């Protein structure tokens, strides 16, 4: 359980969370923000696995993509709400 929580927390505070949020804030389209966040999640997992899919764990990849998609969508929502005020 602690491994799962550590993986989620690490991804939120790492590239998928922070860069996904930043890339999501660059667009007003939710699907594009989510796609960019998910792409960051995949790339971050591959970078830490030294670009070898055999070193990638499925759980880590799934969590990184989910966190990236959520962060990208949140960034887009921040952009849209902030632009209308």
Per-residue pLDDT tens for 35-61?
A: 999 999 999 999 999 999 889 999 999
> What sign has the CA pseudo-torsion 47, 52, 55, 56?
positive
Q: Give the contacts of 62 (CB within 8 A, at least 6 positions apart).
A: none
Q: How far apart are CA 30 and CA 66, in angstroms?
A: 15
pLDDT given at position 71: 96
Average pLDDT of the residues in 16-44? 94
What is this structure's pTM? 0.89
């Amino acid at each position: 359980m602690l491994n799962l929580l550590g993986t989620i927390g690490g991804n939120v505070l790492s590239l998928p969370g922070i860069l996904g949020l930043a890339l999501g804030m660059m667009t007003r389209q939710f699907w594009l923000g989510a796609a960019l966040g998910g792409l960051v999640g995949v790339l971050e997992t591959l970078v830490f696995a030294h670009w070898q899919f055999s070193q990638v764990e499925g759980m880590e990849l799934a969590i990184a993509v989910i966190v990236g998609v959520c962060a990208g969508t949140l960034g887009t929502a921040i952009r849209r709400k902030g632009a209308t005020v």
